[in-house]
């Protein structure tokens, strides 16, 4: 891959000149990271194959995992789609700008084939972050942007996280401070009048149900793994390892008191083997743990705070060189569903319910 010796850093509050410079880099085929309301994205002109290939190279992302295209307005999204149903239109009108990504039939030639990884669909969203919106407007093109982490690593929620993974690999990063939601957008596909959640995120099933209205089914990701696979639109990214810290992670769920005890037991066992072990805890239990590091994700009943803090916490586990992490589960309500989805993936299947 191309090594870019100097990745430009535009600090918070850099103003129009920085946005213009970043937009210019995108227009001339470069790759620039920028904040969205969910996580930082790695943007390039979605119409230019060589620019899109640079995103895949910088991330070391498998070529069969398609990218989300970011646009400034609903009309720009319609220009990318071959057709849009009334239900899809309703979802776009209700949640954009915001953390909802829709998988739509792609209009031939609207984006480079690399963006869709050869599928006949394209994932589109209108982000709700002032810097992202200014950048996209200035660039004047659809911006393909996956999360700005190296493949497999936790998504970046600050510009420093982006630089950790991308310094020397991209043209620049616009720093807009920490992102608000902290987990990626909800990816949905509508098929036969059913809204399928392909990846849970900032917009939860209840919100989708409310918008979709009476008689529309919202199928939750993973709710029924034996779903007739044929009737379900697919999201290729879901099969890859994601969000993983370097240390092995165990996720414990269940009754809070038993969970606390089990987490401590596992920590003790792993430390006895000579390993450096950390805990991802809620505020209520944090002081009671004895471990090499205790990182709290906030009050147990505030999943939005845990969502905002999770990816930074996973990166902190790496920075502290933990060999093992034992994490408490959080209630699966609202954004708690997306939070637990990411925690399960980070744990790579090492789950325990007590």
Binding interface with ligand TXA (CB under 6 A): 36, 38-39, 41, 65-68, 99, 101, 103, 116, 119, 121-123, 127, 145-147, 184-185, 187, 198-199, 235-238
Distance CA 35, CA 30 (A): 17
Q: Count residues contacting Mg ion (CB under 5 A)?
A: 1
Q: Give the residue among 30, 76, 22, 33 at the shortest CA–CA distance from 51.
A: 30
Distances (CA, A) of 20 to 12, 16, 52, 202: 14, 6, 20, 29
Name which of ligand TXA, Mg ion, none residue 103 binds, using a CB cut-off of 5 to 8 Å depending on partner kind: ligand TXA
Work out the angle between the directed axes of helices 205-212 and 86-95 (0-180°, nearest 10): 120
Minimum CB–partner distance for residue 141 and ligand TXA (Å): 16
Minimum CB–partner distance for residue 274 and ligand TXA (Å): 36
Distance CA 172, CA 163 (A): 9
Distances (CA, A) of 169 to 10, 69, 148, 150, 161: 16, 21, 11, 10, 14
Other Cβ atoms within 10 Å of 266 Cβ, number:
18
Minimum CB–partner distance for residue 124 and ligand TXA (Å): 9
Q: Which is nearer to Mg ion, 159 or 267 (CB)?
A: 159
Q: Which is nearer to ligand TXA, 104 or 252 (CB)?
A: 104
Name which of ligand TXA, Mg ion, none residue 176 binds, using a CB cut-off of 5 to 8 Å depending on partner kind: none
Distance CA 110, CA 252 (A): 45
Q: Is 341 in the site for Mg ion (CB under 5 A)?
A: no
What angle (nearest 5°) sits at the alpha carbon of residue 180, between those of residues 72 and 126? 15
Q: Give the residue among 324, 312, 309 at the shortest CA–CA distance from 278.
A: 324
Name which of Mg ion, ligand TXA, none residue 250 binds, using a CB cut-off of 5 to 8 Å depending on partner kind: none
Distance CA 314, CA 334 (A): 21
Minimum CB–partner distance for residue 288 and ligand TXA (Å): 34
Minimum CB–partner distance for residue 178 and ligand TXA (Å): 14
Scanning 142-150, 173-181, 203-211, 346-354 for contacts with Mg ion by CB under 5 A, the matching segment is 142-150
Q: Is 147 in the site for Mg ion (CB under 5 A)?
A: yes
Name which of Mg ion, ligand TXA, none residue 315 binds, using a CB cut-off of 5 to 8 Å depending on partner kind: none
Name which of ligand TXA, Mg ion, none residue 253 binds, using a CB cut-off of 5 to 8 Å depending on partner kind: none
Query: Read out DSSP for 180-233?
Result: SS-SPPEEEEEETTEEEEEE--SS-HHHHHHHH-TT-EEEPTTT-TTS-GGGS-
Q: Residue 172's beta-bridge partner residues?
A: 8, 32
Q: Contact at 8 Å (CB) between 54 and 44?
A: yes
Q: Is 157 in the site for Mg ion (CB under 5 A)?
A: no
Minimum CB–partner distance for residue 147 and Mg ion (Å): 3
Q: Which is nearer to ligand TXA, 187 or 219 (CB)?
A: 187
- Phi/psi-derived region of residue 281, left when phi > 0, alpha when psi is between -120 and 50, beta in every other case: beta
Scanning 2-10, 54-62, 140-148, 290-298 for contacts with Mg ion by CB under 5 A, the matching segment is 140-148
Minimum CB–partner distance for residue 146 and Mg ion (Å): 5
Q: Which is nearer to ligand TXA, 118 or 299 (CB)?
A: 118
Which residues make up the interface to Mg ion (CB under 5 A)? 147
């Amino acid at each position: 891959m191309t090594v870019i010796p100097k990745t430009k850093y535009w600090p918070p509050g850099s103003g129009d000149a920085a946005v213009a410079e970043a937009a210019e880099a995108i227009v001339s085929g470069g790759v620039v990271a920028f904040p969205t309301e969910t996580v930082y994205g790695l943007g390039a002109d979605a119409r230019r194959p060589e620019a899109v290939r640079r995103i895949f190279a910088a991330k070391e992302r498998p070529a069969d995992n398609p990218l989300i295209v970011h646009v400034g307005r609903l009309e720009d999204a319609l220009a990318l789609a071959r057709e849009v149903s009334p239900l899809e239109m309703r979802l776009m009108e209700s949640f954009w700008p915001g953390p909802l990504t829709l998988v739509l039939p792609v209009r031939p030639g609207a984006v480079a084939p690399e963006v869709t990884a050869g599928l006949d669909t394209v994932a589109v969203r209108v982000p709700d972050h002032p810097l992202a919106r200014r950048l996209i407007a200035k660039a004047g093109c659809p911006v393909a942007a996956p999360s700005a982490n190296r493949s497999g690593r936790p998504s970046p929620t600050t510009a420093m996280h982006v630089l950790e993974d991308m310094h020397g690999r991209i043209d620049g990063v616009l720093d807009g401070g920490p992102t608000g939601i902290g987990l990626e957008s909800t990816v949905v596909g509508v098929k036969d009048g059913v809204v399928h959640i392909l990846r849970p995120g900032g917009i939860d099933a209840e919100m989708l149900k409310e918008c979709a209205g009476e008689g529309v089914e919202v199928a939750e990701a993973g709710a029924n793994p034996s779903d007739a696979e044929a009737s379900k639109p697919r999201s290729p990214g879901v099969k890859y390892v994601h969000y993983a810290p370097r240390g092995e992670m165990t996720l414990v769920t269940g009754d809070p008191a038993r969970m606390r005890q089990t987490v401590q037991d596992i920590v003790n066992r792993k430390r006895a083997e000579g390993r450096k072990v950390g805990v991802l805890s809620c505020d209520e239990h944090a002081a009671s743990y004895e471990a090499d590091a205790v990182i709290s994700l906030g009050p147990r009943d505030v999943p939005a705070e845990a969502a905002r803090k999770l990816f930074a916490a996973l990166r902190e586990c790496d920075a502290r060189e933990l060999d093992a992490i034992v994490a408490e589960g959080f209630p699966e309500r609202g954004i708690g569903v997306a939070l637990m989805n990411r925690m399960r993936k980070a744990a790579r299947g090492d789950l325990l319910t007590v």
